[in-house]
Amino acid sequence: MKRINITVNGKAVSASVEPRMQLADFLRESLNLTGTHLGCEHGVCGACTLLVDGTPIRSCITLAVACEGARVTTVEGLDEDLIAGELRAAFSREHALQCGYCTPGMLISARDTVMRMPDANERDIRVAMSGNLCRCTGYVGIVRAIQSVITERKAKGLSSPPSPRAEFGPAGSGRARPTAVGAVAAAPAAARAARRPGPAGAADRAPEARRVAEPGVGKPQTTLHESFTVDYPRAKVWAFFGRLGDVATCLPGTSLLGTPTDEHVETRIRIKVGPIVSEFDGAADVVRDASSFSGVIRGSAHDARSRSATRGEIQYVLIEDENGAATRVEVDVGFTLTGPLAQFSRSSIVHDIAWRMTDAFARNLRARLNRGNGSARADSTAGASISEINAAPLILSVIWNRIKTFFRSLLGR
């Protein structure tokens, strides 16, 4: 994490952020400024446009840490702005929006156009606004609205304040210092490992398990840490973790494809969000180190329907608890998701969902261990009966919890 100090809509903000966090995510998820919309997340559509030191930028491809010391203005910060007010009225008068998704970014770019180009004609406006895409309106109303503001200001002899924008190019405050991103990102995992007691601490973990914690190796987009405790001795849990097929089917929504070995498993994971069902088919391999009771599972999977793919690693370490009567399972997950479903890996909601999935995994694991010495085949069959992850209730319950937290903090409880 890195601490940044920026001014957002006139208010000083100091916060710790992941070095890889984009400015749009920071504003939306940490400051609840959801007026900044995210469309393509590739710097193409312009939905996320906002002002950094007065210059329009794509906040989906601008790192929050690059804005150290900068003045950030979102659409919420333009409530009292004269030109933005004129544009809002013109957009509404000229029917320049339908769904409104592109509108915050459009207003920011339109304001910049009005300020920079007091004599702009229709063609100039179309060129100036070509970095903002709208899928609803056909642009006619948008161009007419901007043109009408320019014409009215000209007729009234109103001059726009000078644009702070001197040049085109990447924007940022220019005050952020370069940082060893990998080293910062790796710090929490290293700190956690250092806190682990006894022979299962970081120094004693399997070389394979240590390798993925080192900066610059693998570099997953999303990393998570979870832990849970089961009321069984470590030797018993370790033996269970040796049966890769059983471990895989403790994950909700996971079924086996073919017969697993103790080192290799092929699986299908079904995830359902409303009417959309994704089926990730993939394979995973495990490397275990009995001396440190740790292991690393490495795999990849692909969903043909959504054209999304993922690859990742799960490191686990088993730690004796309650004088050997229980076992704490510490899990580090790192994964990269590509394709249309990648948008879900960015949100912090994924952390809440991961926690719930870990909880479900822990419950399944306890149930399997409760069955005593059932065979691997019997356990695998039982796990396969969990037919799919229904992500919609998970997401709804996450959102509901957030609403409750928000109102509690509002009421000071």
Instruction: Give contact residues for ligand FES (rule: CB under 6 A).
Output: 38-41, 43-48, 58, 60, 97-102, 134-137
State which residue, 291 or 343, has the beta carbon closest to ligand FES.
343
> CA-CA distances (angstroms) from residue 325 to 227, 240, 242, 376?
17, 16, 20, 23
State which residue, 234 or 346, has the beta carbon closest to ligand FES.
346
CB of 395 to ligand FES, least distance (A): 21
How far apart CA 100 and CA 107 sit, in angstroms, is: 11
CA atoms within 13 A on the CB side of 302: 2
CB of 352 to ligand FES, least distance (A): 23
Give 198's DSSP letter.
Answer: G
Chain Cα centroid distance, residue 86: 35
CB of 61 to ligand FES, least distance (A): 6
Give 172's DSSP letter.
Answer: S
Chain position carrying tokens 């000071």:
412
State which residue, 104 or 253, has the beta carbon closest to ligand FES.
104
State which residue, 105 or 282, has the beta carbon closest to ligand FES.
105
**CB of 52 closer than 8 Å to CB of 172:** yes
How far apart CA 17 and CA 224 sit, in angstroms, is: 15
CB of 91 to ligand FES, least distance (A): 10
CB of 139 to ligand FES, least distance (A): 9
Chain position carrying tokens 């969990």:
386
State which residue, 134 or 286, has the beta carbon closest to ligand FES.
134
State which residue, 84 or 301, has the beta carbon closest to ligand FES.
84
DSSP 111-159: HHHHHH-TT--HHHHHHHTTTS--SSS-SHHHHHHHHHHHHHHHHTTPP
CA atoms within 13 A on the CB side of 346: 21
CB of 339 to ligand FES, least distance (A): 17
